[in-house]
Amino acid sequence: MRFPEDVPTLTADAVTLRAHTVSDIEAAYDACQDAEMQRWTTIPVPYERQHAEQYLTEFIPAAWRDGKSWAWAIEYDGRYAGTIDLRPQDGNLGEVGFAVAPWARGNGVMTGALRLAVRHAFEQGWDRVVWRAYVGNWGSRRVAWKCGFRNLVTIPAGGLQRGVRQDEWVASIARDDEPEAQGNWWQVPVIETDRLRLRPFRSTDAKRIAEACDDVRTQEWLAGLPQPYQLSDAEGFIESRPANSAGGEGVSWAIADPETDELLGCVSVFDLQNRIDSTMGEIGYWAHPDARGRGVMSGAVRGAIGHAFTPIADGGLGRRRLVLFAAEGNTASQRVAEVNGFTRTGRERAASPGRDGVFRDLHCFDLLGTDPRP
Ligand X SMILES: CC(C)(COP(=O)(O)OP(=O)(O)OC[C@H]1O[C@@H](n2cnc3c(N)ncnc32)[C@H](O)[C@@H]1OP(=O)(O)O)[C@@H](O)C(=O)NCCC(=O)NCCS
Q: Which amino acid is at 189?
A: P
Q: How many helices (H) and strands (E) does the chain have?
A: 11, 16
Q: Which is nearer to ligand X, 43 or 269 (CB)?
A: 43
To ligand X, the closest distance from the beta carbon of 144 in angstroms equals 8
Instruction: Return the bridge partners of 173, or none.
Output: 129
Among 19, 24, 25, 41, interactor with ligand X by CB under 6 A:
41
To ligand X, the closest distance from the beta carbon of 28 in angstroms equals 12
> How far apart are the C-alpha atoms of 310 and 314, rounded to whole Å?
7
> How far apart are the C-alpha atoms of 147 and 110, rounded to whole Å?
10
To ligand X, the closest distance from the beta carbon of 185 in angstroms equals 8
Q: Which amino acid is at 351?
A: A
Q: Are 191 and 253 in contact (CB under 8 A)?
A: yes
To ligand X, the closest distance from the beta carbon of 345 in angstroms equals 37
Closest-by-Cβ residue to ligand X is 139
111 contacts ligand X (rule: CB under 6 A)? yes
106 contacts ligand X (rule: CB under 6 A)? yes
Among 30, 36, 235, 361, interactor with ligand X by CB under 6 A:
36
17-25, 33-41, 245-253, 286-294 -> range binding ligand X (CB under 6 A): 33-41
Alpha-carbon distance values, 345 to 27, 84, 304, 333, 361 (Å) = 64, 55, 21, 15, 13
Alpha-carbon distance values, 327 to 113, 145, 184, 209, 360 (Å) = 52, 39, 31, 22, 6
109 contacts ligand X (rule: CB under 6 A)? yes
To ligand X, the closest distance from the beta carbon of 243 in angstroms equals 12
Q: Which is nearer to ligand X, 124 or 138 (CB)?
A: 138
Q: Which is nearer to ligand X, 138 or 358 (CB)?
A: 138
Which parts of 112-171 interact with ligand X (CB under 6 A)?
133, 137-140, 142-143, 146
Site pattern 43..82 for ligand X (x: CB under 6 A): ----------------------------------------
Cβ partners under 8 Å of residue 276, min gap 6: none
To ligand X, the closest distance from the beta carbon of 242 in angstroms equals 9
Instruction: Return the bridge partners of 23, or none.
Output: none
Q: Of the candidates 145, 144, 169, 142, which has an alpha carbon nearest to the alpha carbon of residue 155?
A: 169
186 contacts ligand X (rule: CB under 6 A)? no
Q: Which is nearer to ligand X, 159 or 341 (CB)?
A: 159
Question: SS3 of 215, please?
Answer: coil
Question: Which ranges of the chain does DSSP label H, i.e. alpha helix?
Answer: 25-31, 35-40, 49-54, 60-66, 109-123, 138-146, 206-214, 216-221, 231-246, 296-309, 331-339
Among 16, 24, 40, 337, interactor with ligand X by CB under 6 A:
40
Q: Which is nearer to ligand X, 142 or 217 (CB)?
A: 142
16 contacts ligand X (rule: CB under 6 A)? no
List of residues contacting ligand X (CB under 6 A): 36-37, 40-41, 98-100, 105-111, 133, 137-140, 142-143, 146
